[in-house]
Amino acid sequence: MTERTIETTPTADAATTQEHDPEQSMPETCPECDGRGITDDEHGEVACEDCGLVLDADAIDHGPEWRAFTDRQKDDRSRVGAPITNLMHDNGLSATMGWQNKDAHGNTLASKKQRRLARLRKWDRRYRTKDATERNLKQALGEIERMASALGLPTPARETAGVLYRRALEEGLLPGRSIEGMATASLYAAARQQGTPRTLTDVTKVSRVEKLRIQRAYRYMSKELRLQIEPTDPMQYIGQFASTLAVSAEAEHLARDLMETAKEEALHSGKNPAGLAAAALYAAAYLSNEEITQAEVGEAAQVSEVTIRNRYQDLLEVQAEY
DNA sequence: CATTCGTGAAGACGAAT
DNA sequence: ATTCGATTTCACGAATG
């Protein structure tokens, strides 16, 4: 018989509620993973939910920040002050509440008022650092900004890193892992997504975390967030390396040509992209009669001379065919 | 002399199990 | 978690210029 089943009370069902409603999003598609473009309207950015690529940062406008915030809790924000940025845990809009029991003129308050203030502070504190999550964000975003600056990464990469970290946080990827590791991984991933990659070795140098931990965090994050990041195209390193090595524009162009044919021969698959790019530059400089040693190129690309040699030989081989 | 080239042993990594 | 194959690195000596 169909008797009434005793339903368990839905006490904690809000835990895993997804905020995004795919239907209400803009009709764009993500160029990276050909998936659906999904808005992340809380920050005024259009980002793909599958790979986290920020398609259009600050899609709204560049004018005064008069946007109407529908979010009830947050619409108490001040309308003036520093610009909103993703890189502060509360988007840079906080005001601080004094802790002394004095009024604006420095007079001590009556004890009744003191207790009222204490309650206010309590809520203020709860709002500001709702939980450990917010504090994580604050610290992580600071680290991201610091490292990005040390690496000379442009703003889009920094913003993307912030978004990625937020997502990692929202998906509960942090517990049991170090904030620093995740923050570094976010930046590494973001730099690659934005077409301004840095080698893992370079990223490691400005991070407080060991390479292995960063790599693990990156892998984990890439998997859980469904990031679809192709292996770095060696071509993307050429400009960077050419600049630090100060080779001629001519040689740089030649290096790109070499890379082009190398890619057609699938020479790059499975190889260290930085090594190949470095070898292309070495070869190009050599052919242009510019003095540049394997050691120098290796230093610029953070690969060993041996690797330069090997890739360099490979390049000459495929080049000989044409 | 500095640089390049080649090699074997050893380590690190990704994929498969 | 371990194993396996490919790649990279290290250390060295030899060749080249």
The Cα A120–Cα A124 span in angstroms is: 6
pLDDT of residue A263: 87
Mean pLDDT of the A156-162 span? 94
Token pair listed for A71: 């979010």
Instruction: Please answer whether residues A262 and A280 qualify as being in contact, where contact means their C-beta atoms are separated by less than 8 angstroms.
Output: yes
For A72-76, A174-178, A238-242, which range has the lowest pLDDT when averaged over its residues? A72-76
Nucleotides, chain C, CB distance < 7 Å: 6-11
Asked if the model's pLDDT at residue A30 lies above 80, the reply is: no
pLDDT of residue A225: 86
Instruction: Give the distance, in angstroms, between residue A132 CA and nucleotide B7 C1'.
Output: 55
pLDDT bracket for residue A160 (50, 70, 90): very high
Better-predicted residue by pLDDT, A16 or A218: A218
Mean pLDDT of the A177-205 span? 91
Instruction: Give the distance, in angstroms, between residue A104 CA and nucleotide B3 C1'.
Output: 73
Q: Which residues touch strand C (CB under 7 A)?
A: A 270-272, 275, 302-304, 306-307, 310-311
pLDDT of residue A9: 38
Instruction: Give the distance, in angstroms, between residue A84 CA and nucleotide B12 C1'.
Output: 43
**Percent over 90 (pLDDT), chain A:** 30
pLDDT of residue A74: 40
The residue whose CA lies nearest the C1' of nucleotide C8 is A307
Asked if the model's pLDDT at residue A152 lies above 90, the reply is: yes
Question: Biggest alpha carbon distance in chain A?
Answer: 91
Asked if the model's pLDDT at residue A212 lies above 50, the reply is: yes
Q: Which residues touch strand B (CB under 7 A)?
A: A 211-212, 215, 292-295, 305-306, 309, 312-313
The Cα A43–Cα A251 span in angstroms is: 43
Helices (H) and strands (E) in chain A, counts: 11, 3
pLDDT of residue A38: 47
Asked if the model's pLDDT at residue A275 lies above 50, the reply is: yes
Convert the pLDDT of each residue in A110-148 to its tens digit.
777 777 777 776 666 655 555 667 777 888 999 999 999
Nucleotide nearest to A305 (CA to C1'): C9
Asked if the model's pLDDT at residue A17 lies above 50, the reply is: no
The Cα A112–Cα A132 span in angstroms is: 31
Mean pLDDT of the A16-23 span? 36
pLDDT of residue A128: 54
Better-predicted residue by pLDDT, A121 or A17: A121
- Write down the residue that tokens 């001590």 correspond to: A108
Nucleotides, chain B, CB distance < 7 Å: 2-8, 13-14
Better-predicted residue by pLDDT, A43 or A112: A112
Has this prediction a pTM greater than 0.85? no
Nucleotide nearest to A309 (CA to C1'): B5
Instruction: Give the distance, in angstroms, between residue A42 CA and nucleotide B14 C1'.
Output: 38
Mean pLDDT of the A141-165 span? 94
Nucleotide nearest to A212 (CA to C1'): B12
Q: Give exposure, A27-45, as e/b (b: 16+ Cβ within 10 Å).
A: eeebebbebebbbbbebbb
Instruction: Please answer whether residues A182 and A165 qualify as being in contact, where contact means their C-beta atoms are separated by less than 8 angstroms.
Output: yes
